[in-house]
Every structure is written in structure tokens, then in C-alpha cells.
Amino acid sequence: MKKIGKWAAFAAVLFVLQTSLLPLMAYHGVTADLLLLLTVSVAFLRGNKQGAFMGFGTGLMQDLATGTFFGVNTLSRTLLGLLFGQFSDRVFKEQFFLPVLASIAATILNYFILALLMVLLGYRFNLESHVQQMLVPMLLYQLAFAYPVHYLTYRLDKRLEEKK
């Protein structure tokens, strides 16, 4: 239970940074999605079950706290946690390159899952220009923050494992 509390506190800290500090360095309103990076890191370190659980929790927190389209982040993060957790057995935990690179793939997948949901909800947009304006700057932000977030997640996971 304590462990879940620590993970929840870590997710809350990242959420607060993402919504209160990162907008100061946003490009046309686009900033990094730290909770997506956390989901991918947890999925790589802990497997698909805990990755999906973390994705569900962080997505729900974001949907509830920001007032965006309810459930879209919860669904996409759960799917991504599940998907990237499949690779946890094949990657060394000390290896940082793959999880950091995977955050790019996760951001692209997350973008297209959300785009599909928007189309299903009846919103129309020009995919090409939207990708240029939204996805490309977000990928750059994600690349910049992927390593620090994965490093912190790795340290927290290791510390909690040692205590166990």
C-alpha cells in the first residue's frame, strides 16, 4: 500500500510540474507529457500489468484534473502501458537507451490513438498540418524529458525494491 502511495505521489509531482511549470516554456501551447513518459518507464521496468495500471491511474488523474475530453487519456495510457510492458522481459533494467527511444514511439502512438478518438467523437481536422504543429514540437519536448523521467522512475523503483 505504501508503495502505491509513493508511486501516486511521484505521478502527482510530475503532473503538477507538467501543468504549472512546463507551460512557461511551451511552444504554441504544446509542452512535454511527463505522465506518458512515466507510464512508458514503469511499463518497461515493471511489466505490462503494472504499466497498464500506471497508465490507467495517470490518465484518469489527467482527465479528472484538467477537464479535457473525459476518458481519452485513461484509455490511451492503459493501452500504451500494456503494449510497452510486453517488452519488459526483453530489456535490461539498467539499459536506458531503449526506454528513452520508446518514449518517442509511445508519443506517436498516443497521438494517433487520441486523433482516432477525436474523429470518432465527430471532430474533423487536417492531419498533416496538425502533425506538423502539434506532434513534432511535442516529440522534441518528449525527447528532452525522457531521460530525466526514466532515470527518476528507475531510482524510485530500485529504492522500493531494496526496501522490500
Partner 1 sequence: MSRVRRDKKSPKRFWALLFVLVSLFCLILFAARGRFQAPIASQTVSLILSPFQQAVSWVGSELNYVTSNIWEIVTVHEQNKMLRNEVNQLRQQNLQASDFAAENARLRELLGYKQAATQFDLVAARVIGRESATWSSMVVINKGLGDGVNKDMAVVTEKGLVGRVVEAGPNSSKVQLILDPRSSVGTLVQRAESRVTGIVVGDIDNPTMPDMENIPKTADVQEGDLIITSGYGGVFPKGLPVGIVTTLKNDDGGLLKIAVLEPAVDFQKLEDVAVITASREAPPEPLKPPVQTPGTETDPVTGEPKHAEGQGN
Smallest distance from the beta carbon of 159 to partner 1, in angstroms? 22
The single-letter code of the amino acid at 24 is L
Identify which of residues 90 and 163 has a Cβ nearer to partner 1 in the complex.
90
- Of 120 and 163, the one with the shorter C-beta distance to partner 1 is 120
**Closest distance of CB 43 from partner 1, Å:** 14
Q: Which is nearer to partner 1, 111 or 162 (CB)?
A: 111
Minimum distance of partner 1 from residue 127's CB (angstroms): 9
What is the identity of the amino acid at 30? Answer: V
What one-character-per-residue DSSP string does the chain give?
A: -HHHHHHHHHHHHHHHIIIIIGGGG-BTTB---HHHHHHHHHHHHH-HHHHHHHHHHHHHHHHHHH--STTHHHHHHHHHHHHHHTTGGGS-TT--HHHHHHHHHHHHHHHHHHHHHHHHTT----HHHHIIIIIHHHHHHHHHHHHHHHHHHHHHHHHHHHH-
Applying CB under 8 A, the residues found at the interface with partner 1 are 12-13, 15-24, 26, 28-33, 49, 52, 56, 61-62, 64-72, 74-75, 78-79, 82, 86, 89-90, 111, 114, 117-118, 120-121, 123-126, 129-130, 133-134, 138
Q: Measured from the CB atom, is 124 or 163 closer to partner 1? A: 124
- Closest separation in Å from C-beta 89 to partner 1: 6
